[in-house]
Amino acid sequence: MSYVSTRGGDAPATYAEIVLRGLAQDGGLFVPQSYPRVTPSELRRWRGLSYADLAFEVLRLFASGIDEEALRSLCRSTYTAQTYCNARPGQDASEITPLLWLEDGLGLLQLSNGPTLAFKDMAMQFLGALFEHLLGLQGRRLNILGATSGDTGSAAEYAMRGRRGIRVFMLSPYGRMSGFQRAQMYSLQDPNIFNIAVKGTFDQAQDIVKAVSNDHAFKASHAIGTVNSINWARVAAQTVYYFKGWLAAAGSDDEPVSFAVPSGNFGDVLAGWIARQMGLPVASLIVATNENDVLAEFFETGCYRPRDPAHTYVTSSPSMDISRASNFERYVFDVTGRSPERLRALWKELDEKGSFTLSGEDWERVKASGFCAGRSVHADRLRTIRGLWETSGVLVDPHTADGITVARRKRLPGVKCICLETAQPAKFASTIREAAGILPPVPSSCAGLEDRPQRFEVMEPDVRAVKDYIDRHTSEQ
C-alpha cells in the first residue's frame, strides 16, 4: 500500500513515512493509492474479535512499512478496558466502544470512554503509541506544537504524556475554556507536557502555531511536528469503529447499516466513507452539522462555500464550530475521479472565488456516494437531550445530540442507524443543565479533577516568546 498526495506533487510513500510528516509537501493530503477491500468472509471471521485484534486486522491493510507483530502489540497496548474505562454504568468497558440501542433501530456507539471523554481518544491514543514506536526505531525526537480550544489539545496530551522522545507544546486561550477542560489539560504533571496559556483568543493561538511552523529553519532545528486531524494515521484508526459498530449491529453478513456523525473537520465521517469504500455494508452516511452548516449546504446543493471568521458562529456544540473542513479535500478527491489536476483546479477556484460547485458527473457521484446531511440548532439539541433523558434515562452531550436530531430526520425506514457519540455529557455541563435541568455525572476517573494542582505557563500572544520558550525547553535532551 503506498500513499500519494491529493495534489499529485509528492512521490509515493509508505504509511510509516507519511504519518510523521502530516501534510504532503505540495500542500495536499496523503491518501492511499487505492483502498484495500474487505471480503464478506473476512467480515464474518472478524465477528468474534476483541477491539484490539479487530484494529490490528483493519490497520494492517493500511500500515505499510510497519512490522506486523509490532502493529499487533501497539493495538493491544492501546485498546484496553483500563484506558477506555469511562463507560456508562451497565455498559461493558471491555467492548471499548459499546453499542447502546436508544429506540427502534437507532443505536449509540459510545466512542468517548477514553481518558478525555471524547472520541478523539480513539485515534489519538493509537497515534501516541505509533509515534513513540517509529521515533524509537529512527532514534529521533519530536516536539509537537498545537493550539486548542479544548478537545483536541487534551486528547493529544493524554496520548503523548510520558512517551519517550516526544514533547507536547500546547497553546490554549487563557481564561476561555471551561473549568473542566482547563483542569483536564493543566492538571497533567508529566515533564514532557507543556501547557502555554496565551492571553488572547484561540485564533491568535492558532496564528502563533502557523507562524512558528512557517519558520522552516526553526521547525527543522527544533523537530517541530503536529497531530492535527488531517494526519492519515488518525483517519485510518477511526475506520476501525465503523467495522466494530457494524459487527455489533448487523444481524446478517450483508445487512446495510447507516451511520450518523456529528461533523466539524470531516475527519470522523471521512473514516466512514473509507470503510464503505473498503466494502463494509454502509447504507448511508448522515452528516450532522450545527448552525455552521457549510457541509449540509454542500450535500444539498453541490456548492462548497466555507464562511469567513465573522460568519463562523459560536454555538453550544463548540467542537463543530468550524467553517473549512480540513479533511473534506480527501472526499472531493475521491468523488471527482481521483485526479490531482481536477483537485488543484477546484482548490484554485476556492482560493479565488471563495467557493466551488460540483455538477454533472461529479454531482452524480456525490449523490451515489451514500452521503446525506442536515443541520441541528441550539433548540434542536436541547429538545433531543431533554427528550432522551426523559424517555430513556440516557444523557448525551450537545454534539451527539446534533447527530441524533439529524439521524431521526434523515434515516431510511427499516434500516438500522448508528449515531456516533463524540463526547460525554460531563464535558458540557452547562448545556446539559439548560436542557435537562440536572448536572451530568462525572466518571470516576475524572472525579475531583478540578481540585488537582495545575501547571501552565501564561504568555502574551507573541511568536518570539513562544519560540524562546520552546527553545529553552528543548535544549536539554
Residues annotated as catalytic are: 120
- Residue closer to ligand PLP, measured from CB, 328 or 456: 328
Stretches 59-67, 256-264, 352-360, 378-386: which one binds ligand PLP (CB under 6 A)? 256-264
Ramachandran quadrant class, 328 (left: phi over 0; alpha: psi -120 to 50; beta: rest): alpha
231, 152 in Cβ contact below 8 A?
A: no
Does the footprint of ligand PLP cover residue 264 (CB under 6 A)? Answer: yes
Residues in 388-417 at the binding interface with ligand PLP, rule: CB under 6 A: 399
113, 87 in Cβ contact below 8 A?
A: yes
**What is the pattern of x (binds ligand PLP, CB under 6 A) and - over residues 107-126?**
-----------x-x------
**Element housing 343 (H / E):** helix 340-353
Number of residues that bind ligand PLP (CB under 6 A): 16
Instruction: Report the SS3 class of residue 283.
Output: strand
The CA dihedral of 346, 347, 353, 358, to the nearest 10 degrees, is 30
In angstroms, give the least distance from the CB of 469 to ligand PLP: 27
CA–CA distance, 45 with 366 (Å, rounded to integer) = 32
Can you give the three-state secondary structure of 211-230, one letter per residue? HHHHCHHHHHHCCEECCCCC
- Residue closer to ligand PLP, measured from CB, 202 or 266: 266
In angstroms, give the least distance from the CB of 183 to ligand PLP: 17
- Residue closer to ligand PLP, measured from CB, 123 or 249: 123
**Element housing 371 (H / E):** strand 371-375
CA–CA distance, 345 with 351 (Å, rounded to integer) = 10
Radius of gyration over every alpha carbon of the chain, rounded to an integer in angstroms: 21
- Residue closer to ligand PLP, measured from CB, 132 or 334: 334
In angstroms, give the least distance from the CB of 403 to ligand PLP: 9
Residues in 29-88 at the binding interface with ligand PLP, rule: CB under 6 A: none
Does the footprint of ligand PLP cover residue 157 (CB under 6 A)? Answer: no
Does the footprint of ligand PLP cover residue 263 (CB under 6 A)? Answer: yes
Residues in 174-233 at the binding interface with ligand PLP, rule: CB under 6 A: 229
- Residue closer to ligand PLP, measured from CB, 83 or 149: 149
260, 288 in Cβ contact below 8 A?
A: yes
In angstroms, give the least distance from the CB of 467 to ligand PLP: 28
CA 184 to chain centre: 18
* Cell output for 246: 457494524
Positions in the binding site for ligand PLP (CB under 6 A): 118, 120, 151, 229, 262-268, 319-320, 399, 422-423
